[in-house]
């Protein structure tokens, strides 16, 4: 049955996205002992000298440099002022914004009311247009907030290699998602040539940016030895990757790894989108239909392709066939 009544459609979409973007209910709060156990497993931490560097006060130059790198014609926030307007006099606007940001941080710990508002539009992705989950929310935020977040991101980027695993490609300057594509291709070829059982599970986290408990995010930052001042700036903004890959030597290992991911979801508020998680057989002799780890792995049978980062992969599929699937 198709519903076209405008108020009903609006209420349905509003209820769906409100449930995703709202804080967790009291009854769904995480177990702090389990959360502590996950945090203690973190091994990446900033050195003291880097922590102090990251914790220094924000400067006019940092805001100005961030402002100058923005696209002048991108859509503005609800106030209508684009980056191009601020770039007319970036030094002056940066001085004014720094005064505002420092005052708000020291006196209120949050941005101005208009800076905390954004216009959210839903862009259709694919599938049934009547399902709210088949849309991607895009927030149009005030430019001054983007200036601050960009300045903080530039500062953090200098220390990111100490904190981020070398296999993470997203959100790290100098790394590309294409590296993961070539890695999976190389692994599949190697495992086949060496006749080794091996599997890759592609994980998709449902609305990753919105579902993660913000308190967990701040605890992770503190555990990684980021300073209180920098964390305070992040609190003013708030903002995780939604696609990850597990590489496993066999199916029992894949099930064990997935259990670790599910524990992470419990303590962080993240949620796996099981319908989009798939396990690709890089090379194996077991029948996926009989060894699916209790249905958790959603194994793609041999000879069938799976899409990963825009390219098609498959166990025992010729390379030219994979390219043909991509072109189609």
Domain boundaries, the chain: 46-163, 166-205+241-328
Percent of the chain with pLDDT over 90: 26
302 confidence band (pLDDT: 50, 70, 90) = low
Distance CA 268, CA 41 (A): 14
Count CB-CB contacts under 10 A for residue 89: 12
What is the mean predicted confidence (pLDDT) over 126-140? 82
Residue 100 scores a pLDDT above 70: yes
What is the mean predicted confidence (pLDDT) over 56-74? 96
pLDDT at 30: 65
Higher pLDDT, 111 or 291: 111
326 confidence band (pLDDT: 50, 70, 90) = very low
pLDDT at 247: 65
Higher pLDDT, 254 or 27: 254
Q: Is 247 helix (H, G, I), strand (E, B) or coil?
A: strand
Residue 243 scores a pLDDT above 70: no
pLDDT, averaged across the chain: 79
What pTM was estimated for this model as a whole? Answer: 0.68
What is the mean predicted confidence (pLDDT) over 93-98? 97
Distance CA 51, CA 61 (A): 20
What is the mean predicted confidence (pLDDT) over 15-41? 73
What is the mean predicted confidence (pLDDT) over 241-245? 53
Strands 278-283 and 198-204: what pairing? Answer: antiparallel
CA Rg, the chain, in Å?
23
Residue 132: partners with Cβ closer than 8 Å, 6 or more residues away? 12, 13, 16, 17, 122
Strand partners, 280: 200, 300
239 confidence band (pLDDT: 50, 70, 90) = very low
| Residue 62 burial class via C-beta count within 10 angstroms: exposed 0-12, middle 13-18, buried 19 and up | buried
């Amino acid at each position: 049955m198709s519903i076209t009544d405008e108020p009903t459609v609006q209420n349905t979409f509003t209820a769906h996205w409100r449930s995703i973007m709202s804080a967790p209910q009291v009854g769904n709060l995480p177990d702090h002992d389990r959360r502590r156990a996950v945090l203690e497993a973190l091994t990446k931490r900033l050195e003291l000298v880097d922590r102090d560097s990251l914790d220094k006060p924000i400067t006019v130059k940092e805001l100005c440099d961030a402002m100058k790198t923005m696209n002048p014609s991108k859509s503005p926030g609800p106030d209508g002022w684009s980056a191009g307007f601020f770039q007319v006099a970036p030094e002056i606007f940066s001085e004014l914004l720094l005064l505002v940001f420092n005052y708000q941080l020291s006196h209120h710990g949050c941005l101005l009311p208009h800076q905390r508002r954004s216009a959210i539009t839903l862009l259709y992705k694919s599938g049934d247009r009547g399902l709210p989950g088949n849309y991607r929310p895009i927030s149009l935020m005030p430019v001054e907030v983007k200036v601050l977040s960009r300045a903080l991101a530039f500062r953090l980027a200098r220390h990111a290699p100490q904190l981020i695993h070398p296999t993470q490609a997203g959100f790290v300057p100098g790394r590309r998602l294409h590296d993961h594509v070539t890695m999976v291709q190389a692994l599949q070829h190697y495992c086949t040539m060496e006749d080794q059982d091996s599997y890759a599970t592609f994980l998709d986290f449902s609305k990753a940016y919105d579902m993660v408990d913000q308190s967990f995010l701040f605890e992770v930052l503190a555990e990684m030895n980021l300073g209180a001042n920098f964390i305070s700036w992040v609190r003013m903004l708030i903002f995780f990757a939604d696609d990850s890959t597990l590489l496993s030597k066999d199916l029992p290992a894949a099930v064990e790894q997935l259990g670790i991911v599910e524990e992470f979801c419990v303590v962080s508020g993240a949620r796996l989108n099981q319908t989009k998680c798939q396990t690709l057989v890089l090379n194996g002799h077991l029948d996926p239909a009989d060894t699916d780890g209790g249905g958790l792995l959603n194994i793609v049978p041999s000879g069938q392709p799976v899409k990963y980062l825009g390219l098609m992969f498959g166990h025992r599929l010729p390379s030219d066939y994979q390219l043909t699937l991509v072109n189609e």
